[in-house]
Structure formats: structure tokens, C-alpha cells
Structure 1
Amino acid sequence: MSTFILFTFEFDSFIPGKYYDAEHNPEGVINMATAENSLMTPELLQHIHSHFHLDPVHLKYRVSLLSGFYPNTEQALRTYINETFHPRELITSDQIVPGPGLGALYAQFIWHTCDEGEGVVITTPYYGEYSSFPRDSGYHARVKLVAAHIPRDVDPLSLAAIEYISAAVEASNASGTRIRVVILCNPHNPLARVYPKETILAYATLAEKFDLHLLVDEVYGNEVFPSTVVPNPTPFESVLSMDVGSLTDCDPSRIHVLAGPAKDFGVSGLKVGVFVSQQNGDMVKLIRASLGPIPISSASDSIMATVLNDSKFRTWFLEENRIRLTKAFERVAGWCDFHKISYEPASAGVFVLLDLDPILERLSGKGASDEVKVDNGVRIMLDNGVFLRATIGAHDQIPTRFRMTFTLPPDTMLLALRRLEKAFGLREGWSS
């Protein structure tokens, strides 16, 4: 294994010691690589502490919870999706499967739609290299994630990208890796933007053309925000809200959605997600059955149901979260502008892409390869107690970009930016 891969893509399991903690480990590395939202954590914890208490049923198998009188995610997630994603037809209980996180739901879906050695296609850049889609495609279904390489001068979210996806499917099929699924991550990770409706419909047409399932990951759908950088972002429209059958020739039974409250509420650790398929009851039954050995824990189930069923709190929380996302992103954008760091204007999600090429070239010397520049940059950041994840391993068109999570607690975020300034030898004077 090369040093580059070790330091850049397996950081989470490789780095010795514990992460930064203001009280317990102030010298630890601040992880700005994981897409978690801490902007509303105090308010959420206060709500949980005041509204949820462990009862005997929460210590038993989940069937006891579902068969009793306590709130559970079966109903709460259905209501959540219906009220925030505005599907054309209200989602019913036989069209969804709650599960222990989107990764688990995705892995089960791939296992049921693909045979070993077949493929799943996704455009570049995508989320993860040794985690997420690649990991959950490979284990346990042993399916290959096939990258549809989008040229640097083409917007991966535009209609122009469709021809490159088609080419990737044809090439993979011809080489012996039969493509069975096309993934659409909307809002996009890591580009942090919403797809226009016409591109989503073009994906559906492509799925019909090549006899594919279309899996749409909409986990950031409730985290679209305006800013001074992007005052009028593309509005999020769930594929569930579109009359795909009338607008395209795609059979709606091909279309499936992953969603849930993990990113909206900053509760990734509770492991609660949902799979939705309104026109493919057989797929719903298969995934529900395969999750039998790995259900949501009873405590996580009830905690999230308590939060989601509080309509007043939920509505306030989502709106306040978008306000704080705006403020947090504008803070980072101002920092980037001050230091003349190029970045992708973000308007959805909890991260932003930075292009550190001029800095990395200064640190590594003119003529250094992109791999060497990125590796040196990661080493220097770690030496200064901060970490960003490079996207070069996810086939980014711009190999010197890094994904920065900007939703750390404000004090931690400020310290992380100061550590980056020290690591990169940036000039002083920026004020938050």
C-alpha cells in the first residue's frame, strides 16, 4: 500500500491517538473530513433529554417496541418524508423500510439487485474511496463500483454529463462487468449542489434505456441553504415528487430513494435511515426481510420517533438548521476569500470543496505530481492537528481538491481554521 493511500484515505482507522476534545484532548487532531453536523447538537440534546426516557421496552427486541404503544420510526419516518419531500402520492407503510443507517440499506439493496461481479455506475467525483459507496458495493455483494468519468470542463450535474454515463455503462457491459444500478446523489456529495430537474429525468431515461435500477440518495434534501455566495440555490425536488412515468419512458418501479434524518439532525451515530420504493413492492419486501438480523436498535428507534413526531420542534429545527448552515458556510467562504483559496460554491449539505493546488505546490515544489502534493499536504495538516479528506481517490476532475466539513461546533471550527493557517503558512489578519 502506498504512503499516499495510507495517509489520505484510511485516516479514520490509521491515525494514532484520539481526536481533538477541548477538555480531554486539546492537542488531538480536529477531523474536518467526516460529514457530520454539530450546529444544532445542544438544542437536539435538550429536546431528547426532556422528552425521551429509557423504559423497559427499549431494552428488549425491537418487536416489543413495534407491538406496543411507544412511538416508533415506522410511522415517524413515513410522516417525515411525506411532509418534507412532498411526494406526488403519500408514502404508505408498505413502500418504506426503516433501517440502521443508509449504508446498511444501500448494501442490502445492492445485494438484491446485483450478482457477484456485476456493476454499479456513479459519476465522478463521488463520495468515498475506501468507504461508503465503494465499501458497501463490495461487501457483501462483491459488486464493482464503476466510475463514469466526467471531464473537467463538464458540470457533473448537467445534462451534458449523461452521455459520459451512457458511455461508461456501455464500456463496462462490453468488458464483462454488467451494470445493474445507476446512483444519483442529490444533493450531490461532494459538490454540495442540487441537481436540476431535467438532469434527474434524464437519469430516469438512461435507466430505462439500459434496463437499470435508479437509486437516488436524497439524504441532504432538507439541507439546502442560500448565502451571499449562492443567493438563489437550485431548489431541491425529490424524485418522489416527480411524475417520472409521464415525463419520461422510465418504468417507475425502477426508481428507489434513500433518505432519513441522520444529516438533517446531526444524528449519524443513531443509525436511522429509510429506503423508499413506491412502485416496487417486491424490492421493499426483500430489503425488509434481509434487515431482520440488523434492525435499528429500540432506543435509537424511539429517540428519533420522539423527535420526528414533534411537528412544531421538527419544523423549527430544520429551518433554524438552514439558517446556521448559511452562517457557517459564509464564514468559511470569507476565510477562503481572504486567503485566495478557490472553492466550489456550496448550497446544500455540510461540506465545501477547496482547491489547494497553489498551496500544495508551494509546499511540495514546482513539478511535483498531484499524488505527492496531496500526500505532503495531508502530512503537514496532521502535523498541525487538523485533517481534510482529499477527493483525488474519488476520481475528482480537479485532483488537488479537499472536502471540508464546515459544520463543526463554532469554537472548534475557528481553531481548525487557525491550525490550517499555521499548516499552510497563510498570512494573518482574517477575522471571523
Structure 2
Amino acid sequence: MAASLRRQEVLWEIMANTYSPNLCADGFINLGIAENGLMQAELLAHIKKKFDPQRTALSYGEGPNGSARLRAAVASFINSIFSPFTPVDASHISVSNGVTGSIERCAFELGDPGDAFLLGRPYYGAFPAELGDRAQIRTIPVSFGEVDPFGLAAVSIYESSIIDAHARSQRVRALLLCNPHNPLGRCYAKEVLTALMRLCHKYQIHLVVDEVYALSTFRNPENRQAVPFTSTLTIDTTGIIDPALLHVFWGMSKDFGCNGLRIGCVISQANRALIAALDAHAPYCYPAAFLDYIACTVLEDHEFVTAYIIENRRRLGENYAIIATFLNKFAIPFFRGTNAGLFVWANLGAAWSRRRQDKTRYHLGGTCNGIKCLKEKLTVDSEELQRDLDVNMEVQRRLLAEKVYIIDGDELGSEVPGWFRIVFAQPKDILEKGLNRIASAFDM
């Protein structure tokens, strides 16, 4: 708990001192928070162009469940862009002030304190808190080892986790999936989603899918056979899963680059009781009427949305190429095949360990001898090697010293140390400055 609080304190400090060439030139480059800064100028221009709020935007609006207009706009947007098998109706949607609130509300309603959700590793670091802090839902991290977490073989590992939990009298209420995946940046194939649906139906647990990065896909020349995004809403569930067990999260924060526009929702097409229960929580996660209005002006403009998605995907692809080139240049291992999301999963720990070994070889080489060489070696051992028992902490220390912030794998349920999630969806000048600071942190 203390470590978690300390990390939060560091994050708040970084957010309050984020780099800006004009306002905070000596601030931190933030490549840790999953925020898309590539299209914010275009979104702001559109909002300003359409901006004509009525007095109701300054009131409580139509109540804590969001306006009828907003629910209709979300339904129309999902039907137009996602092409669900069964068209989404406004009555299938429960709105909240962001996907975080939607996930927590589902935790309250789908389980009781002490129940558990399955969560494949690595995972979005806030999931355990969103499930557990107040709803007291436990998280069962699922490790895959050498098995592809996006392949059919992963389904049997999830099943083993369910069986093991039952053997120790732990009730499992749901499997929580992030598709596209955060932090791995890949999508689940339709056949894998279908197999997971069958698994959930077999054990009568809910399949809850966070699709907040649904439209943030891009072309990766290194992976021309990349699995495209498939929404679970597009799959005919007949004979596969009781549709009352299937629920989807979506919000505007990631796909539209507006983390501060707190609009998220749960879509549950065959569980009216769940929607009613979620709406009962609405006073505690009320979407502001002003933001409700802004969201409507964006989602209702299908021409703007279509153009926005196309350009956003193009820019994501360009920025991915920049960071992939950087990682390849310095031989930093990373999870290849990424074609979605705002980030890459990179093994900075391996890069640091390799650099540390290079330094050790230098100090043990023929350029020094006797007491001087031994003294230099002991200095390296005591001040770097000994302190580097936790590679993640050492790497993070060096990054923060260069004023660049990245989230380490400890916060994201990584199975092995050394892995970090690097967000690349920032303006190119900021991204390149951040990558230069990473290089400086490793003396590369």
C-alpha cells in the first residue's frame, strides 16, 4: 500500500509539472499516462465550431444517467462504427463519468465482496483498484508464461485458473478483458473471443470487455497479418454464451484523445436488470451536463468522426514507426506486432542490464590495473549493481532523473521484471524529446 501511495504521489507531481516549451520548459516528459495528444487541436477546433450550449448545460441536466440525447448519440455512433450483430439501443446503455466509473459500478453489481474477477497478465494497472478499492472484488492474475495470451491455448489457462479458484472455495464472477489490449497493443481474434465466451458460459461467469481503444488501431508494416479489432458486440452469441453474461465498456477518452472529457458507458444488450442496477449508482458518477453536451456535438457529427478516425490512425502509425525505430536502433527488446493502442511494451530492464554489464567489462578491462581498477569496480558494484537488485526501481530512478516518466511493469502485472509501457501518442517533438531523455538515462 505504501509503495502504491508513493507512486501516486510521484504521478501527481509529474502531472503538475508536465513539460511545455512555453509554460514549463524544465518539466517532465510524460510518456506514462495513456493519453492521445495527436488530434487534440482538431477536436478542440470542432468543439469550438459547434459550441452553442443552452442553459441546461449549466444545470443538473436530465439527471445523473446522462441525457437521452447522449445515450441516443452513443447508440448511433456504436451502430455506425462498430456494426454490432444486434443494433445497440439507448436502453442498452448506462452512462457514467468515464470508463473507470463504469468498471467500478459493474464490480459492485456483478459480485459480492470477496468474489473475484480473472485478469490476464500484464494488465491495465488501475483494474485491481477499480474492482477492489470500494467494491472489494479480488483480482486473480492469470499468468501465461510462454503461451500466446491472444491465442486459443490461453483459453485453457483461464479455465485452469477458474478450476484452481473453485478448489480453494474462491467464487469467480467474471473474466475482464481489454480489447485492444493495454499494454500489449494487440487485438483478440474473433475465434479467441468466441472461445472465451464459451468458457464463460460453461462456468456461468460474466465476460466484461473494455473496448476503450477500439478505434485506436493502425497499420504496422512489420506485421501485415496483424489481427484486426473485433468488437464482442459484432459476434452472434446464439449457442455460444447467454447474452446476459456479456458486457462492453467504451468511452471517449482514448479514441478521441480527451481523457478529461469524462464520458464512459456500459453496454449490456440482454441484461436489463444490470442496466437498472447501474443506473441506481448514477448519482455517484454523474457525467456533467456540460460534458454531456460536448460529447453529443462530437458523436452526432458522423462526417467529422469518420475523418477523425482515419487521420488519427495515420498519425498513430507514424508515431509507432518513430518509437520502433528508436527501440531497434538501441537494440531494446519490445513486444512486436503492435497494431492498436497508444503504447509499446518494451524491456528497458534488459537494456539497462546490458549497459551495466558493458560498464563492468570496461572497469575490468586492460585499461586499468591494481588498486585503481579494483576501486572502480567496487564503486560500480556498490553504487549501481547492488542498488539494482530491483531493476524496475533502478530504471525508473534513472528515467525520473532525466525528467521522463514511464510506467513500469510492476504496476501493470508483468510476469517478469524489466518491462515498461511507453506511450507514443504525443506530438512528435515531445515524443522525440522524451526518447532522447530515455537514451540519456542509459548513457546511450
Q: Fold conserved (TM > 0.5)?
A: yes
Distance in 2, matches of 1:372 and 1:398, equals 11
Instruction: Say whether the 8 Å CA contact 1:72–1:305 is kept in structure 2.
Output: yes
Question: What residue number does 2:21 align with?
Answer: 22
The 1:61–1:9 alpha-carbon spacing in structure 2 relative to 1, beyond 3 Å, is: closer
Q: Secondary structure at the match of 1:63?
A: coil
Confirm or deny: 8 A CA contact 1:364 1:373 kept in the other structure: no
1-structure distance, mates of 2:92, 2:299: 19
**1:17-416 alignment to 2 at 5 Å?**
18-63=17-62, 72-128=69-125, 132-151=126-145, 153-246=146-239, 248=240, 250-345=241-336, 346-362=338-354, 372-416=390-434
Equivalent position amino acid for 1:211 in 2 = Q
Matched to 2:32, the amino acid is A
Give the structure with higher Rg (CA): 2
Tell me whether 46-55 or 333-342 shows the greater mean CA deviation.
Answer: 46-55
For 1:90-110, what per-residue CA distance to the aligned partner results, in whole angstroms no more than 9, with x for missing partners? 111211112110110110011
Residues 369-378 or 284-293, more deviating? 369-378
Q: TM-score, normalised by structure 1?
A: 0.91
Separation in structure 2 between the aligned mates of residue 110 and residue 104 of structure 1, nearest angstrom: 10
Q: 1:122 to 1:65 in 2, by over 3 A?
A: closer
Contact 2:214 2:229 in 1 (8 A): yes
Deviation of the 1:371 alpha carbon: 5.8
How far did residue 391 of structure 1 move? 1.2
On the 8 A contact 1:364/1:372 being kept in 2, the answer is no
Q: Are the structure 2 counterparts of residues 67 and 300 from structure 1 closer, same or farther at C-alpha, using a change threshold of 3 Å?
A: closer
Shift of 1:177: 2.6
Unaligned stretches of 5+ residues in structure 2: 361-384
Q: Deviations over 1:127-183 (max 9, x none)?
A: 10xxx21111112211111111111x1111111111211121222232233110111
Percent identical pairs in the alignment equals 30
Residues 213 and 340 in structure 2, CA contact (< 8 A), matched pair in contact too: yes
CA distance in 2, matches of 1:43, 1:81: 21
- Equivalent residue letter for 1:276: I
Kept in 1: contact 2:333–2:350 (CA 8 A): no
| Displacement after TM superposition at 1:254 (Å) | 0.5
**Contact 1:223–1:349 (8 Å) recurs in 2:** yes
Is structure 2 residue 412 aligned with structure 1 residue 421?
no
Unaligned runs of 5+ in 1: 427-432
Residue 22 of structure 1: how far off its partner (Å): 1.6
- 1:430 counterpart residue number: none
How far, CA to CA, are the matches of 2:235 and 2:259 in structure 1? 28
RMSD over aligned CA atoms reads 2.3
Q: Distance in 1 between matches of 2:117 and 2:256?
A: 29
Distance of 1:125 and 1:67 partners within structure 2: 33
Q: Separation in 2 of the partners of 1:39 and 1:381?
A: 23
Q: Which amino acid aligns with 2:397?
A: R
- Whether the 8 Å CA contact 1:98–1:273 is kept in 2: the answer is yes
CA contact (8 A) 1:121 1:147 kept: yes
- Aligned residues between the structures: 417
Q: Deviations along 1:337-382, whole A, 9 cap, x unmatched?
A: 1111111121001111111233221466687798611101100110
Return closer, same or farther for 1:171/1:204 CA change in 2, 3 Å cut-off: same
